[in-house]
Amino acid sequence: MREYRRRIVADICVIMCCLFVLNSCANKPLPDLAGDAIAFETGTFIDNEHDDAAFSTIEYNGRTYIAYGTINNKYKQRYIESCIGYIVQDEKVTSVADPSNTNWRIYTLSEDPEHNFLMDFDDTVKLMNQPNFFRAVDTKGKDIRIPDYIDSLSYEFWEDE
């Protein structure tokens, strides 16, 4: 009976170790900030059609992006194409301005070759950190592919899609 219990405990330890290793492998870090990273300055977009809602904006390749949604599960490394830059931490973005902080990163998505979406993620937050997704304003009303892992936050601006 003792040998049986020891064997059970040993099996449980092996299973726990395997789960720990698998979990560690699944949580690969995000791509590094490129040497030619873009320092994104945020702007403001006012939705005059829907109660004058204000959105933070970023500009990329001549397109304006505003908040669209969040992830509906845990992000996976395969979702991300590359890190293209970071959001400058100034008084427009945060109450604690620190222009040298490059941790609030912007990423392109591997399933979105037209770059209709961008992902932001602050890699300094360790617990309960979820990426957010910005969508190009010029895609409003167009039939575009939305990656399965993005959940809309149902902002009125995007509702008539």
Instruction: Give yes or no: residues 93 and 135 share one domain.
Output: yes
Tell me: do 146 and 105 sit in the same domain: yes
Please calculate the CA angle 42-46-48 and round it to the nearest 5 degrees: 170
**105-154 pLDDT, tens digit each:** 899 999 999 999 999 988 777 666 788 999 999 999 999 999 999 999 98
Domain of 119 in residue numbering reads as 38-159
> 18 and 47, same structural domain?
no
Mean pLDDT of all residues in 70-99: 80
Does 56 lie in the same domain as 18? no
77 and 5 in one domain?
Answer: no
Q: What is the pTM of this model?
A: 0.75
Our count of domains for the chain comes to 2
Torsion of CA 65, 98, 122, 29, to 10 degrees: 120
Residue 97 located in a structural domain = yes
62's tokens: 């001549």
Kindly state whether residue 95 falls inside one of the protein's structural domains: yes
